[in-house]
Structure 1
Amino acid sequence: MSTTLLPIELREGGAQDLASVNVIMQAAFDPQYGEAWTTPQCMGMMALSGVWLTIASIDGKDCGFAMARAMLDEAELLLLATHPEMRGRGIGGALLRAVIAEALGRRAVKLHLEVRAGNDAMRLYHRQGFCKIGERRGYYRGTSGQSFDALTLARSLG
Protein backbone atom coordinates (compact mmCIF):
# COMPACT_ATOMS: atom_id res chain seq x y z
CA MET A 1 0.00 0.00 0.00
CA SER A 2 1.49 3.36 -1.01
CA THR A 3 0.65 6.74 0.39
CA THR A 4 0.46 9.66 -1.98
CA LEU A 5 1.17 13.02 -0.44
CA LEU A 6 -0.96 15.83 -1.77
CA PRO A 7 0.80 19.05 -2.77
CA ILE A 8 1.24 21.85 -0.27
CA GLU A 9 -0.47 25.04 -1.38
CA LEU A 10 0.85 28.34 -0.04
CA ARG A 11 -1.06 31.61 -0.11
CA GLU A 12 -0.90 35.06 1.38
CA GLY A 13 -2.97 35.29 4.52
CA GLY A 14 -4.82 38.12 6.19
CA ALA A 15 -7.00 38.99 9.17
CA GLN A 16 -9.71 36.70 7.76
CA ASP A 17 -7.36 33.74 8.40
CA LEU A 18 -6.75 34.38 12.10
CA ALA A 19 -9.41 31.91 13.26
CA SER A 20 -7.66 29.18 11.29
CA VAL A 21 -4.26 30.37 12.52
CA ASN A 22 -5.52 30.16 16.11
CA VAL A 23 -6.79 26.59 15.66
CA ILE A 24 -3.43 25.50 14.24
CA MET A 25 -1.45 27.37 16.89
CA GLN A 26 -3.46 25.97 19.80
CA ALA A 27 -2.98 22.43 18.46
CA ALA A 28 0.70 22.89 17.59
CA PHE A 29 2.04 24.79 20.61
CA ASP A 30 2.03 22.84 23.87
CA PRO A 31 0.49 25.18 26.48
CA GLN A 32 3.01 24.08 29.10
CA TYR A 33 5.60 26.29 27.36
CA GLY A 34 3.55 29.49 26.99
CA GLU A 35 4.57 30.13 23.37
CA ALA A 36 1.21 30.55 21.63
CA TRP A 37 -0.02 34.02 20.81
CA THR A 38 -3.62 35.16 21.24
CA THR A 39 -5.74 36.26 18.30
CA PRO A 40 -5.56 39.92 19.47
CA GLN A 41 -1.75 39.65 19.61
CA CYS A 42 -1.68 38.30 16.05
CA MET A 43 -4.10 40.98 14.87
CA GLY A 44 -2.01 43.71 16.49
CA MET A 45 1.16 42.41 14.86
CA MET A 46 -0.47 42.13 11.44
CA ALA A 47 -1.49 45.78 11.63
CA LEU A 48 2.17 46.81 11.66
CA SER A 49 4.06 47.78 8.54
CA GLY A 50 6.19 45.05 6.97
CA VAL A 51 4.33 42.08 8.49
CA TRP A 52 3.05 39.23 6.35
CA LEU A 53 1.24 35.95 6.91
CA THR A 54 1.61 32.83 4.79
CA ILE A 55 -0.97 30.04 5.01
CA ALA A 56 -0.22 26.44 4.00
CA SER A 57 -3.05 24.15 3.01
CA ILE A 58 -3.38 20.63 1.68
CA ASP A 59 -6.45 19.64 -0.29
CA GLY A 60 -8.13 22.93 0.66
CA LYS A 61 -7.61 22.51 4.43
CA ASP A 62 -5.36 24.96 6.29
CA CYS A 63 -2.60 23.03 8.02
CA GLY A 64 0.17 25.50 8.80
CA PHE A 65 1.17 29.14 8.82
CA ALA A 66 4.11 31.49 9.16
CA MET A 67 4.07 35.12 10.27
CA ALA A 68 7.10 37.30 9.62
CA ARG A 69 8.12 40.91 9.33
CA ALA A 70 10.76 42.89 7.52
CA MET A 71 12.25 46.21 8.53
CA LEU A 72 15.04 47.89 6.63
CA ASP A 73 17.46 45.12 5.65
CA GLU A 74 16.49 42.52 8.26
CA ALA A 75 13.56 40.16 8.67
CA GLU A 76 12.20 38.16 11.59
CA LEU A 77 10.21 34.95 11.63
CA LEU A 78 7.63 35.65 14.34
CA LEU A 79 5.61 32.42 14.29
CA LEU A 80 5.67 29.15 12.39
CA ALA A 81 3.39 26.22 13.08
CA THR A 82 2.15 23.03 11.45
CA HIS A 83 -0.91 21.23 12.75
CA PRO A 84 0.37 18.12 14.59
CA GLU A 85 -1.79 15.80 12.46
CA MET A 86 -0.05 17.12 9.33
CA ARG A 87 3.59 17.03 10.46
CA GLY A 88 6.17 15.11 8.50
CA ARG A 89 4.87 16.26 5.11
CA GLY A 90 7.31 19.11 4.51
CA ILE A 91 4.88 21.88 5.47
CA GLY A 92 7.24 23.59 7.93
CA GLY A 93 10.06 23.54 5.39
CA ALA A 94 7.81 24.91 2.64
CA LEU A 95 6.65 27.73 4.91
CA LEU A 96 10.20 28.56 5.99
CA ARG A 97 11.41 28.64 2.37
CA ALA A 98 8.47 30.92 1.50
CA VAL A 99 9.41 33.29 4.34
CA ILE A 100 13.03 33.34 3.14
CA ALA A 101 11.92 34.09 -0.44
CA GLU A 102 9.58 36.88 0.70
CA ALA A 103 12.26 38.36 2.96
CA LEU A 104 14.68 38.38 0.04
CA GLY A 105 12.01 40.06 -2.10
CA ARG A 106 11.76 42.73 0.58
CA ARG A 107 15.54 43.23 0.35
CA ALA A 108 16.39 41.66 3.72
CA VAL A 109 19.94 40.38 4.06
CA LYS A 110 19.45 38.55 7.36
CA LEU A 111 16.59 36.56 8.89
CA HIS A 112 16.21 36.19 12.68
CA LEU A 113 13.96 34.01 14.81
CA GLU A 114 13.50 33.05 18.41
CA VAL A 115 12.73 29.50 19.52
CA ARG A 116 12.38 27.72 22.83
CA ALA A 117 15.47 25.70 23.72
CA GLY A 118 14.64 22.04 23.08
CA ASN A 119 11.90 22.75 20.52
CA ASP A 120 11.77 20.05 17.82
CA ALA A 121 11.75 22.83 15.19
CA MET A 122 15.47 23.37 15.88
CA ARG A 123 16.26 20.58 13.38
CA LEU A 124 14.34 22.42 10.65
CA TYR A 125 16.06 25.70 11.42
CA HIS A 126 19.54 24.17 11.42
CA ARG A 127 18.84 22.42 8.09
CA GLN A 128 17.90 25.83 6.65
CA GLY A 129 21.20 27.39 7.76
CA PHE A 130 20.22 29.12 11.00
CA CYS A 131 22.85 29.44 13.75
CA LYS A 132 22.51 30.43 17.40
CA ILE A 133 23.48 34.04 18.06
CA GLY A 134 21.98 34.58 21.51
CA GLU A 135 19.98 33.23 24.42
CA ARG A 136 17.34 34.65 26.75
CA ARG A 137 17.19 32.73 30.01
CA GLY A 138 13.72 32.13 31.41
CA TYR A 139 12.03 33.96 28.53
CA TYR A 140 8.98 31.68 28.17
CA ARG A 141 6.68 31.21 31.14
CA GLY A 142 4.65 28.01 31.09
CA THR A 143 1.27 27.32 32.63
CA SER A 144 2.93 25.68 35.64
CA GLY A 145 4.99 28.81 36.28
CA GLN A 146 8.16 27.10 35.07
CA SER A 147 10.39 29.18 32.82
CA PHE A 148 12.10 28.08 29.61
CA ASP A 149 15.03 29.58 27.75
CA ALA A 150 14.68 31.14 24.30
CA LEU A 151 17.39 30.87 21.67
CA THR A 152 17.93 33.59 19.09
CA LEU A 153 18.91 32.20 15.69
CA ALA A 154 19.85 33.96 12.48
CA ARG A 155 20.99 33.25 8.94
CA SER A 156 22.23 35.36 6.09
CA LEU A 157 20.04 35.58 3.01
CA GLY A 158 21.06 35.54 -0.62
Structure 2
Amino acid sequence: MSSTAPVPLVVERGGGDSLDDVMDVMTAAFDRRFGEAWTRAQCAGILPMAGVTLMLARRGDEIAGFSLARRILDEAELLLIAVHPDHAGTGTGTQLLKRFIADQQMAGAHNLHLEVRDGNPAVRLYRNTGFDIIGRRSNYYRGTDGERFDALTMALRI
Protein backbone atom coordinates (compact mmCIF):
# COMPACT_ATOMS: atom_id res chain seq x y z
CA MET A 1 0.00 0.00 0.00
CA SER A 2 1.50 3.31 -1.00
CA SER A 3 0.47 6.70 0.15
CA THR A 4 1.42 10.03 -1.28
CA ALA A 5 2.23 12.76 1.21
CA PRO A 6 0.67 16.12 0.43
CA VAL A 7 2.99 18.61 -1.23
CA PRO A 8 3.94 21.22 1.40
CA LEU A 9 3.13 24.87 0.92
CA VAL A 10 6.17 27.13 0.62
CA VAL A 11 5.76 30.91 0.90
CA GLU A 12 8.63 32.87 -0.64
CA ARG A 13 9.44 36.30 -1.96
CA GLY A 14 8.64 37.02 -5.59
CA GLY A 15 9.68 39.77 -7.97
CA GLY A 16 9.08 41.19 -11.41
CA ASP A 17 9.90 37.84 -12.99
CA SER A 18 6.87 36.39 -11.13
CA LEU A 19 4.28 38.59 -12.88
CA ASP A 20 3.08 35.85 -15.25
CA ASP A 21 2.29 33.63 -12.25
CA VAL A 22 0.64 36.51 -10.37
CA MET A 23 -1.56 37.38 -13.33
CA ASP A 24 -2.53 33.71 -13.84
CA VAL A 25 -3.67 33.46 -10.21
CA MET A 26 -5.38 36.86 -10.29
CA THR A 27 -7.30 36.02 -13.48
CA ALA A 28 -8.49 32.71 -12.00
CA ALA A 29 -9.22 34.00 -8.48
CA PHE A 30 -10.93 37.36 -8.99
CA ASP A 31 -14.41 37.44 -10.49
CA ARG A 32 -14.31 40.13 -13.21
CA ARG A 33 -17.81 41.20 -12.32
CA PHE A 34 -16.55 42.94 -9.15
CA GLY A 35 -13.66 44.97 -10.59
CA GLU A 36 -11.16 44.05 -7.84
CA ALA A 37 -8.28 42.65 -9.90
CA TRP A 38 -5.28 44.77 -10.81
CA THR A 39 -3.80 45.00 -14.28
CA ARG A 40 -0.34 43.72 -15.12
CA ALA A 41 0.81 47.34 -15.53
CA GLN A 42 -0.43 48.23 -12.03
CA CYS A 43 1.44 45.29 -10.51
CA ALA A 44 4.61 45.98 -12.50
CA GLY A 45 4.46 49.65 -11.57
CA ILE A 46 4.28 49.13 -7.81
CA LEU A 47 6.79 46.27 -7.45
CA PRO A 48 9.94 48.44 -7.67
CA MET A 49 8.68 50.91 -5.05
CA ALA A 50 10.32 51.02 -1.63
CA GLY A 51 8.55 48.95 1.01
CA VAL A 52 6.62 46.78 -1.48
CA THR A 53 6.70 43.01 -1.02
CA LEU A 54 5.34 40.27 -3.27
CA MET A 55 5.01 36.84 -1.68
CA LEU A 56 4.25 33.66 -3.62
CA ALA A 57 2.71 30.52 -2.18
CA ARG A 58 3.91 27.40 -4.01
CA ARG A 59 2.94 23.76 -3.83
CA GLY A 60 5.64 22.02 -5.80
CA ASP A 61 5.86 23.72 -9.18
CA GLU A 62 2.39 25.27 -8.91
CA ILE A 63 1.70 28.81 -7.74
CA ALA A 64 -1.15 28.42 -5.26
CA GLY A 65 -1.51 32.11 -4.41
CA PHE A 66 0.21 35.41 -3.76
CA SER A 67 0.08 38.53 -1.64
CA LEU A 68 1.22 42.05 -2.40
CA ALA A 69 1.88 44.51 0.41
CA ARG A 70 3.57 47.81 1.11
CA ARG A 71 5.00 49.29 4.28
CA ILE A 72 5.72 52.89 5.11
CA LEU A 73 7.30 53.47 8.54
CA ASP A 74 5.08 51.65 11.06
CA GLU A 75 2.07 51.26 8.74
CA ALA A 76 1.55 48.40 6.30
CA GLU A 77 -1.21 47.68 3.83
CA LEU A 78 -2.19 44.39 2.27
CA LEU A 79 -2.84 45.49 -1.30
CA LEU A 80 -3.78 42.15 -2.83
CA ILE A 81 -4.11 38.57 -1.76
CA ALA A 82 -5.36 35.78 -3.99
CA VAL A 83 -5.54 31.99 -4.00
CA HIS A 84 -5.95 30.03 -7.21
CA PRO A 85 -9.33 28.23 -7.14
CA ASP A 86 -7.53 24.87 -7.53
CA HIS A 87 -5.98 25.54 -4.09
CA ALA A 88 -9.02 27.02 -2.34
CA GLY A 89 -9.72 25.56 1.09
CA THR A 90 -6.14 24.32 1.60
CA GLY A 91 -5.05 27.02 4.06
CA THR A 92 -3.08 28.93 1.43
CA GLY A 93 -4.85 32.24 2.10
CA THR A 94 -4.40 31.84 5.85
CA GLN A 95 -0.69 31.13 5.44
CA LEU A 96 -0.20 34.13 3.15
CA LEU A 97 -2.05 36.38 5.59
CA LYS A 98 -0.11 35.10 8.60
CA ARG A 99 3.15 35.61 6.71
CA PHE A 100 2.10 39.19 5.86
CA ILE A 101 1.44 39.90 9.55
CA ALA A 102 4.68 38.29 10.74
CA ASP A 103 6.85 39.96 8.08
CA GLN A 104 5.38 43.40 8.75
CA GLN A 105 5.77 42.99 12.49
CA MET A 106 9.44 42.01 12.03
CA ALA A 107 9.91 45.08 9.81
CA GLY A 108 8.58 47.35 12.57
CA ALA A 109 5.00 47.90 11.48
CA HIS A 110 2.40 48.29 14.23
CA ASN A 111 -0.69 49.14 12.19
CA LEU A 112 -1.90 46.90 9.38
CA HIS A 113 -4.63 47.88 6.94
CA LEU A 114 -6.55 46.39 4.05
CA GLU A 115 -9.70 46.96 2.10
CA VAL A 116 -12.04 44.33 0.80
CA ARG A 117 -15.32 44.26 -1.10
CA ASP A 118 -18.28 43.98 1.22
CA GLY A 119 -19.60 40.46 0.73
CA ASN A 120 -16.24 38.96 -0.21
CA PRO A 121 -15.80 35.63 1.64
CA ALA A 122 -12.26 36.77 2.60
CA VAL A 123 -13.81 39.09 5.21
CA ARG A 124 -14.23 36.05 7.45
CA LEU A 125 -10.55 35.14 7.04
CA TYR A 126 -9.49 38.67 7.96
CA ARG A 127 -11.76 38.79 11.00
CA ASN A 128 -10.56 35.36 12.15
CA THR A 129 -6.99 36.67 11.96
CA GLY A 130 -7.78 39.68 14.17
CA PHE A 131 -8.67 42.42 11.68
CA ASP A 132 -11.59 44.68 12.61
CA ILE A 133 -13.83 46.63 10.28
CA ILE A 134 -13.10 50.32 10.82
CA GLY A 135 -14.87 51.94 7.89
CA ARG A 136 -16.76 51.66 4.63
CA ARG A 137 -16.12 53.24 1.24
CA SER A 138 -19.41 53.42 -0.60
CA ASN A 139 -19.40 52.43 -4.26
CA TYR A 140 -15.63 51.93 -4.22
CA TYR A 141 -15.40 49.03 -6.70
CA ARG A 142 -16.87 49.28 -10.20
CA GLY A 143 -17.79 46.02 -11.86
CA THR A 144 -17.55 45.28 -15.55
CA ASP A 145 -21.24 46.08 -16.04
CA GLY A 146 -20.94 49.40 -14.16
CA GLU A 147 -22.43 48.04 -10.94
CA ARG A 148 -20.85 49.53 -7.80
CA PHE A 149 -19.79 47.71 -4.65
CA ASP A 150 -18.79 49.02 -1.23
CA ALA A 151 -15.35 48.40 0.25
CA LEU A 152 -14.77 47.66 3.91
CA THR A 153 -11.63 49.09 5.46
CA MET A 154 -10.10 46.83 8.07
CA ALA A 155 -7.23 47.23 10.52
CA LEU A 156 -5.11 45.22 12.93
CA ARG A 157 -2.82 46.70 15.59
CA ILE A 158 0.20 44.47 16.27
What corresponds to 1:149 in structure 2? 150
Distance 1:32 1:84 in 2: 16
- Is structure 2 residue 104 aligned with structure 1 residue 96? no
Unaligned runs of 5+ in 2: none
- Render the CA deviation track for 1:74-118: whole Å, top value 9, x for unaligned: 100000000011100000000001111110111000110000000
**Where does residue 13 of structure 1 map in the other structure?**
14
Give 3-state SS (helix, strand or coil) of 1:101's partner.
helix
Q: If the length of structure 1 is used for normalisation, what is the TM-score? A: 0.96
Return the offset for 1:140: 0.2
Look up the match of 2:60: 59
- Letter of the structure 1 residue corresponding to residue 60 of structure 2: D
Alpha-carbon distance in structure 1 between the residues aligned to 2:144 and 2:66: 24
| Alpha-carbon distance between aligned partners in 2 of 1:82 and 1:4, rounded to the nearest angstrom | 21
**Counterpart in 1 of 2:114?**
113
Question: Where do 4+ consecutive residues of structure 1 move more than 3 Å?
Answer: 2-5
Using the TM superposition, give the Cα deviation of residue 63 of structure 1 relative to its aligned residue in structure 2, in angstroms: 1.2
Match of 2:27 in 1: 26
Contact 1:117–1:151 (8 Å) recurs in 2: yes
Unmatched tracts of structure 1, length 5 or more: none
TM-score (norm 2): 0.96
Equivalent residue letter for 2:32: P
Three-state SS of the structure 1 residue aligned to 2:57 is strand
* Structure 2 residue identity aligned to 1:47: P
What value does the CA root-mean-square deviation take over the aligned residues? 1.2
Checking the alignment, whether the CA contact within 8 Å between 1:131 and 1:154 is kept in structure 2 is: yes
Q: Secondary structure at the match of 2:99?
A: helix
Who is 1:36 aligned against? Answer: 37
SS, match of residue 68 in structure 2: strand
Identity of aligned residues (%): 49
CA distance in 2, matches of 1:4, 1:122: 31
Indicate whether 1:135 and 2:136 are aligned: yes
Residue-pair matches, total: 156
